[in-house]
Structure 1
Amino acid sequence: MTIVRYNPWKEMNSLQRQLDRIFDDVIISTTNSLNHTGFPATELIETESALELRLEVPGMQASELDIQVAANSVTVAGERKATTEAADNKFARSEFRYGEFKRVITLPIKVQNTNVKAEYKDGILYLVLPKREEELNKVVKVSLDDSVE
């Protein structure tokens, strides 16, 4: 029979690892459900001639948004300020986001950043990003010759 020495710290380390896993799971699921990493929320739609990007930025004026378009990315930055009446009161609960934000959206193809059309309506920023000519000409029709033997 072998004598095994009891090490209480081994049990404590095991418990610590289990607690770490539990807290990691809670933090990750909470972050994903509140969409903190993806503010503002976006939709990107590809048409034949352009990419259409929509960003959800309610409660802001168009002049408060800084929009920069490169050939392969769009950067939207701004700051949502708390109203003075909200700052004086104590909240029981608030899920609104205040403060500065910056979102960089990588585009799947290159666009003509000099011909971008933008519109801001009802808290949604609409951007139409025309595709570059080389992106439009990527599809080539191939004809088959019937005389192949």
Structure 2
Amino acid sequence: MTSVLERLPGWPTLPDLFGWVESGLPGTHVPGLHGIRIEEQIGDGAYVLRAELPGIDPEKDVDITVEEGILTLRAERSEETTEKHRTEFRYGTFVRSVRLPAGAKGDEASAEYRDGVLTVTVPVPEEKTTEARTIKVRHA
């Protein structure tokens, strides 16, 4: 079996640049523990986090928790037992934690998984704007 990626003879293989970024500083990476790429937005009364989790069974392999204003995603992908010549897939535990906006209602969070993307929605109360008022100082 040959690799789909053809290389010129004598040319070294280059490491995955995303792998460098995700693994952190040398000596700080925990084998089998990977980050999760995310997108965040806030608006329309909700904080929305979208996370890339392709090849994950969300009902069995995803755990979402909210504790003390921190949203944590944890997912597990097991390696298939078939023989492979080469793989760039990542297997193991994927974890990402983010601080929720002030006032976010973590107990009302909901999640949906579609096409390899997990979307977590957390209600956030609209900011109330108050008009400025002048306070008179009394002379005592």
Query: TM-score of the superposition, structure 1-length normalised?
Result: 0.62
* Offset at residue 108 of structure 1 (A): 3.5
| Displacement of 1:29 | 8.7
Gaps of 5+ in 2: 1-14, 25-33, 135-140
Equivalent residue for 1:67? 64
User: What is the distance in 1 between the residues matched to 2:64 and 2:114?
Assistant: 15
More strand by share: 2
Distance between the aligned counterparts of 2:40 and 2:48, measured in 1? 6
Give yes or no for the alignment of 1:113 onto 2:103.
Answer: no
The alignment status of 1:89 with 2:84, answered yes or no, reads yes
Specify the code of the residue in structure 1 equivalent to 2:45. Answer: S
Q: Deviations over 1:78-104 (max 9, x none)?
A: 21111122xx2231xx32211112211
Given that 1:71 and 1:112 are in contact with CA atoms closer than 8 Å, whether structure 2 keeps it comes out as no
Which runs of 5 or more residues in structure 1 are unaligned? Answer: 1-25, 145-149
The residue type equivalent to 1:118 in the other structure is A
Aligned pair partner of 1:99 in 92, 96, 99: 92
Equivalent in 41, 48, 51 of residue 47 of structure 2: 51
Give the residue type in structure 1 aligned to 2:39: E
Report how far residue 110 of structure 1 moved. Answer: 3.3
Q: Which residue of 1 aligns with 2:130?
A: 140
Q: Which structure has more helix as a fraction of its residues?
A: 1
Count residues in correspondence: 109
Larger Rg: 1
Q: CA RMSD, aligned part only?
A: 2.7
Structure 1 residues 100 and 122 mapped into 2: Cα distance closer, same or farther (>3 Å)? same
